[in-house]
Structure 1
Amino acid sequence: MIEVVLSGYYGFDNMGDEAILYSLITGLKDAEEPCRITVLSASPQKTANRYGVEAVSRMSPGNVLSALRRSDIFISGGGSLIQDATSLRSPLYYLGLLAFSRFFSSCTAFAFQGVGPLNTAPVRMMTARAVKKADIVSVRDEDSRHLLTSLGLEKESIRVVPDPVFSLFSGDRLEEVDAGGENSPRQLGVAVRPWQDDSYLSPLTEGISEFSRDIDELEITLLPLHRGRDEKAAEKVAEGLRQREGLNENIISVNLKTPPEHPAKISDKFSGLDMLLGVRLHSLIFATLLGIPCAGIEYDPKISAFLNQIDLEPIGTTSDLSSRDVELGLRSTLKRSEIISEKQQDYGREQKEKIACHLEEILSSVEKGKAD
């Protein structure tokens, strides 16, 4: 039995990170070697009940130390854990834990990570020192690998692997997505997030309204993914669109869904959509998993890094978004929807096997570490 400790942004009700955790747990449980999994979580009881694993408080030194002492492998990731755009506390916590884990675990893995931006010298220095000493280093895009090599890591030591959420790829677009007839209203999903002063929400709302004038009937669904964080921004967009309903007869309804309770339920929230406009990274990943053509708005380089992998570009950035960007971006996505969906399906199919292979590689390194 391999003892695995998982560290990430877990237990905060962010469905992107919860989907990463769910994917890793599912993959580890399906691996050839039996694993006992402990998660460092902000809500350990909820995490334990939700996924059927052990969980301890990520901020309890005693519980974290106890978990590390019995661990064979420590996995830091996935997600965008190492970035200092929002705060210094987050990267220092994760890098400190990665460095500390080396005293207890047979193997430490810095895995499935998106790295950057790193704007401060202390964080760049600590990233270089901590990640260099990890037994396995893998990132989810070439931009992250380039950043790590600029800090002194050898390019050959860094694997580029898919976001683990792609292990949930089923191979077929949801039946519900194709259920609508030719005369059914178009379904547009919108996944926003709070960012800085939220000024980008106004041109986003106006752009959706202008786009709707080309559509006979459009139903719009707001999809908050981070409970307690995204609802306010989603409500602002919904209210703005509802005010325009009376002026624009093509918008026939504006709906605001509640965040999903479990990653396995995410497809229920997305089912029936013809298109998605996403600011959150994992809204774009979920759309790709389901073959739903998507248009992304960049608030962080990780958005373009992902979209580039499916041959797309962001339709704009939160810093200088215009309603025209949104209108034209949605028009283009609708026009190319079949091509985009086929590309998404091909991409998702390729990634699933890569993730399973990388998890097996990590688990195999445990046995090697014990032998050494």
Structure 2
Amino acid sequence: MKVIHLISGGDSGGAKTHVLSLLQHLNQTITAQLVCFRDGPFAEEARQMGIPTMICGGNNVFRTRRKLAAYIREGGYEIIHCHGSRANMIGAMLRKVTGLPVVTTVHSDYRLDYMGRPLSHLTFGTINALALRRLDYRIGVSDAMVDLLISRGFPADRFYTIYNGIDFTPPPTQGDRLEYLRSLGADVDENSVVVGIAARMNPVKDMATLVRGFAAGHAKCPRLRLLIAGDGPEKDKLTALAAELGVERQVCFAGWISGGMDRFYSALDINALTSLSETFPYALTEGARFHLATVSTAVGGIPYLIDQDVNGYLFQPGDWQALGNDLAALGNDDELRRRLGEKLYEKASTQFSIQKTVSTQLQIYASILRRHRRRSSARDGVVICGAYGRGNAGDDAILEAILQEMRSIDPDMPITVLSKDPRSTRLTYRVRAVHRSNFLAWHAAMWNSRLYINGGGSLIQDVTSRRSLWFYLANIRAAKRAGNRVQMYGCGIGPVTRESHRSLAAKIINKYVDVITLREPDSLEELRAMGVTEPEVLLTADPALILQKAPDDETDSVLLRAGIPPHGNYLCFALRRWKGFEEKAPLFGAAAEYAYRTYGLTPVFVAVEKHLDPGAGQLAARGLTIPHYFLDDAGGAGTIIGALSRMQAVVSMRLHALIFAAGQGIPLAGVVYDPKVSAFLRYIGQEQFVDLAELTGQNLCAMMDQCVAQAAHPEAQAAAVRNLQAMEQKNVEVARRLLKG
């Protein structure tokens, strides 16, 4: 593989480090040629690192384009990779003339690149913004950068994510700490706790917040000292601020550090960052390499590294009070600093190493070449329609699972999702998404796809809304008429109560559906009762059964943010409002009291649909005299599954809370508001359920007794779930067959 990298040659900071370290390691596997548009320290350092480097100077961009086009053709390059505004402009000009895919790495928010320089922002900033939209693919340095660009209208399925990685080889001993700190001008002794930052003093880094936060922290912890390595236009302002706040002796402005940064980071106790905007700064992984406790603004990709209260502290930009509290807590607790620093090192060294970055970049190149060489076809890909974009974790989990399975068939396949909230769907899943009511958009998508998936859940029902039934049936018909194969994917059927609706559904399904895969036997009986006889019908399982729980650190962070100790003896209630729930709500509270006093289980009320369920939990918990918690926003499916895996038992009205918990082997008790709940529990051989209308304190407590007894013998439920997970694979096997025609 041969890739040509274009860059201005005047870059510094994180972009410079990223490009040079990446190319140095890439050239061990592929040919990665660097082209700089001017000579200087950047190009010289590249040559010293053994990176093949060429200078292509001059201000005539058309001459530069001709020269580079000839060089690319003669060299047999396959991908053009750009870094920065000038490279993006030249890359956009080369795209058509070379016929090669052009990708750019976005190292920073292009709208902030020329902050404080209005003329440059108007000229170079505008050119860069236009060029970015003309390139084929974009790589964001962090998921947050990708999200930012997608939110600005860039196509969601043309993005990749990469993270800055460093070499975590243990550094050598760095010498006497106090001697080094004092040589920089710091007023320190053996008892000092040194907070440090290495950054340019410009508005984006917002070091005024750092100085204010440090002053607040120092008032509570006089051991604290602040060491600032760097220079810039705001130095005088920051020096004056330190004096105004009375900490001029405790704040050391060290200027630029020469001879490498290892000794600087080895001398710190706490690493800090206060930026208003970042992608994924090297400063934090450099600090993690030295096992430093870290406090940072929650911007860019930083929350992907730092799990709040688990391996560091995060605060909102400008919130110097929160920063001061965090610094004081760390300054006063040596063991806390040690523990957070060790946890951060563990995560950073495994997930954010240079080896991981290089591997990710090679995978990106392989994907770009596959997509570039993909045979152009009038019809390609899948349209997926379901109850998506409504904030319901169960429905979103179904979509996540289907997307995983479609990408297992073909990782480069075009996918369009019909969603109630297409912006959120694009950001979360990096797919094309159109609004359910945008008839022209989803109709156009159907005319260009090969397979239409009526995706999971109980879409064919008229209990919650007859209009939704008409919508899904109309879309099935439109998809088939547009030339698609049609699959109803791991779904449930019913209840369909009106006879006219049953007749209409049977007519549409018989005429326009190719294959139906069902998540439980009750739906098979319902289809037969409705008179559906034409499509192929297979019994499978709910797609959400394939989803895995999030890493433990992420789950810990979610629980801690809700004030829940990560490891305790918990009983989960996953409730929802439904007809008759208000009357029964006190029974859940009484059952929670019973479980706490009998088995020592602390109740946690978990919201599966975060916009609707918290009210149900609050109602059930009203008047509780025992400790209890609310988890109103557990994040996505992975962290919800992780949270449920920490429970000793789950009492749920929500189907997908039962599915998630079953996959983790957690004992279950179902409260049935819809037949789909009892259908799933019977399917896994679980008889612990009761209809909401028939719920009593006695039968609810009896189910909890059974759950506690089952906790010692989870083998039967685990075996049933493994069997369902194997059956679920029929869903994707059918989709693969239909796509191949």
TM-score range, shorter chain: 0.7 to 0.9
Aligned mate of 2:542, from 147, 163, 172: 163
Partner of 1:244: 624
Structure 1 residues 360 and 162 mapped into 2: Cα distance closer, same or farther (>3 Å)?
same
Q: Which moved more, 1:288-297 or 1:257-266?
A: 257-266
- Counterparts of 1:1-372 in structure 2, within 5 Å, are 2-32=380-410, 34-133=412-511, 134-154=513-533, 157-168=536-547, 186-198=569-581, 199-215=583-599, 217-238=600-621, 240=622, 243-245=623-625, 251=626, 253-339=627-713, 341-368=714-741
Q: CA RMSD in A?
A: 2.3
TM-score, normalised to structure 2, is 0.45
Offset of 1:207 from its aligned partner?
2.6
Offset of 1:169 from its aligned partner?
5.2
Structure 1 residues 76 and 68 mapped into 2: Cα distance closer, same or farther (>3 Å)?
same
CA distance in 2, matches of 1:363, 1:221: 41
Q: Which moved more, 1:203-212 or 1:131-140?
A: 203-212
Offset of 1:244 from its aligned partner?
3.3
Q: Which moved more, 1:42-51 or 1:79-88?
A: 79-88
Contact 2:510 2:535 survives alignment (8 Å) = no
Contact 1:41 1:57 survives alignment (8 Å) = yes
Partner of 1:181: none
Contact 1:186 1:219 survives alignment (8 Å) = yes
Structure 2 alignment gaps of length 5 or more:
1-373, 375-379, 557-566
**Amino acid in structure 2 at the alignment position of 1:358:** N
Q: Which moved more, 1:97-106 or 1:357-366?
A: 357-366
CA distance in 2, matches of 1:150, 1:220: 41
Offset of 1:31 from its aligned partner?
1.6
CA distance in 1, matches of 2:547, 2:435: 27
Measured against aligned partners, the alpha-carbon deviations of 1:154-184 in whole angstroms (never above 9, x if no partner) come to 39831111100112258xx99x99xxxxxx8
**Amino acid in structure 1 at the alignment position of 2:615:** K
Structure 1 residues 86 and 211 mapped into 2: Cα distance closer, same or farther (>3 Å)?
same
Offset of 1:84 from its aligned partner?
1.5
Contact 2:571 2:648 survives alignment (8 Å) = yes
Contact 2:453 2:486 survives alignment (8 Å) = yes
Offset of 1:295 from its aligned partner?
0.8
Offset of 1:343 from its aligned partner?
2.5
CA distance in 1, matches of 2:468, 2:700: 32
Contact 1:78 1:164 survives alignment (8 Å) = yes
**Amino acid in structure 1 at the alignment position of 2:488:** F
Measured against aligned partners, the alpha-carbon deviations of 1:30-58 in whole angstroms (never above 9, x if no partner) come to 12574211100011011011011111101
Contact 2:605 2:629 survives alignment (8 Å) = yes
**Matched residue SS, 2:647:** coil
Offset of 1:333 from its aligned partner?
1.2
Offset of 1:100 from its aligned partner?
1.5
**Amino acid in structure 2 at the alignment position of 1:265:** T
Measured against aligned partners, the alpha-carbon deviations of 1:69-113 in whole angstroms (never above 9, x if no partner) come to 111110002001111122211111111111111111330111211
CA distance in 2, matches of 1:154, 1:342: 37
Contact 1:5 1:75 survives alignment (8 Å) = yes
Structure 1 residues 33 and 104 mapped into 2: Cα distance closer, same or farther (>3 Å)?
farther
CA distance in 2, matches of 1:270, 1:225: 11
Offset of 1:352 from its aligned partner?
2.9
Partner of 1:180: none
Which structure's CA Rg is the greater one?
A: 2
**Matched residue SS, 1:200:** helix
CA distance in 2, matches of 1:349, 1:155: 31
Measured against aligned partners, the alpha-carbon deviations of 1:210-245 in whole angstroms (never above 9, x if no partner) come to 343322x3211110010211111111122x2xx232
**Matched residue SS, 2:677:** helix
TM-score, normalised to structure 1, is 0.88
**Matched residue SS, 2:382:** strand
CA distance in 2, matches of 1:306, 1:50: 28
**Matched residue SS, 1:55:** strand
**Matched residue SS, 1:5:** strand
Contact 1:5 1:67 survives alignment (8 Å) = yes
